[in-house]
């Protein structure tokens, strides 16, 4: 069973690799999904002010195009996740804009960044039973899906920021965002 310790963080090189498509959904695929959910929940249990809302398989060092997304973002007690296999954005709408500060389990230290994302997207994926799933998403869910699909393509949210010194924030001990010290951010080795 995977734990928060299985989540890899930048500058781990596998986070910059593209994940392989899943051609057949096997028991191994289902075990991977279970491991991903367990890693999310274990990560979350150690953070009083953050919720693990999604994870891509690459984040536990499995280069497969699998993503898990929390079923209810507003209720930390609801620990159900939905798996998306081979997810891809099939359509975007609107001009990219900052929806809200974006964080990532693979960018350590509770670092958040201001990333421009499409406000509306359509995503196509497979369910765990192999059925085609089509999702129309906007706002936070649209941002989240773009973020996770980026992971399957070897991208993290910091790759969209162009090292803008004003775009990074951290959580303080009360769970509030405050401007991050850019030199400390750069010293983490998270940029390409």
Catalytic residue among 44, 148, 166, 178: 148
Span 120-125, average pLDDT: 98
For residue 164, the model assigns a pLDDT of 78
Which two structure tokens, joined as six digits, stand for 169?
A: 């924030």
**Closest C-alpha to 59, from 79, 39, 44, 41:** 39
More confident residue, 7 or 188: 7
Given a cut of 90, whether residue 17 has pLDDT beyond it is: yes
Give the model's pLDDT for residue 109. Answer: 78
pLDDT at 153: 98
pLDDT of residue 119: 98
CA distances from 54 to 70, 73, 144, 159, 179 (A): 6, 10, 8, 18, 24
27-61 per-position pLDDT tens digit: 999 999 999 999 999 999 999 889 999 999 999 99
pLDDT per residue over 59-111, tens digit each? 999 999 999 999 999 888 999 999 999 999 999 999 999 999 999 999 987 89
Please give, one letter per residue, the 3-state secondary structure of the chain. Answer: CCCHHHCCCCCCHHHHCCCECCCCCCHHHHHHHHHHHHHHHHHHHCCCCCCCCEEEHHHHCCCECEEEEECCCCCCCCCCEEEEEEEEEEEEECCCEECCCEECCCCCCCEEECCEECCEEEEEEECCCCCEEEEEEECHHHHHHHHHHHHHCCCCHHHHCCCCCCCEEEECCCCCEEECCHHHHHHCCCCC
Write down the CATH number for the domain with range 4-187: 3.90.45.10
For residue 29 the two structure tokens come to: 């695929």
Active site residue 148: yes
pLDDT tens digits for range 133-169: 999 999 999 999 999 999 999 999 999 997 778 899 9
CB 190, CB 158: distance < 8 Å: yes
Domain boundaries, the chain: 4-187
């Amino acid at each position: 069973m995977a734990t928060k310790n299985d989540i890899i963080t930048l500058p781990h090189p596998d986070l910059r690799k593209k994940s392989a498509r899943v051609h057949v959904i096997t028991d191994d695929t289902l075990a991977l999904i279970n491991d991903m959910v367990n890693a999310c929940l274990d990560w979350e249990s150690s953070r009083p002010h953050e919720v693990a809302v999604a994870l891509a398989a690459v984040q536990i060092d499995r280069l497969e195009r699998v993503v898990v997304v929390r079923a209810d973002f507003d209720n930390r007690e609801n620990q159900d996740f939905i798996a998306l296999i081979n997810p891809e954005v099939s359509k975007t709408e609107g001009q990219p804009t900052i929806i809200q500060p974006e964080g990532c389990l693979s960018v350590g230290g509770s670092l958040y960044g201001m990333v421009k994302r499409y406000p509306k997207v359509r995503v196509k994926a497979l369910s765990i039973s192999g059925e085609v799933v089509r999702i129309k998403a906007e706002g936070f869910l649209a941002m989240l899906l773009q973020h996770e699909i980026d992971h399957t393509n070897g991208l993290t949210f910091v790759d969209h920021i162009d090292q803008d010194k004003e775009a990074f924030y951290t959580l303080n001990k009360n769970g509030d965002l405050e401007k991050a010290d850019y030199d400390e951010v750069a010293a983490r080795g998270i940029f390409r």
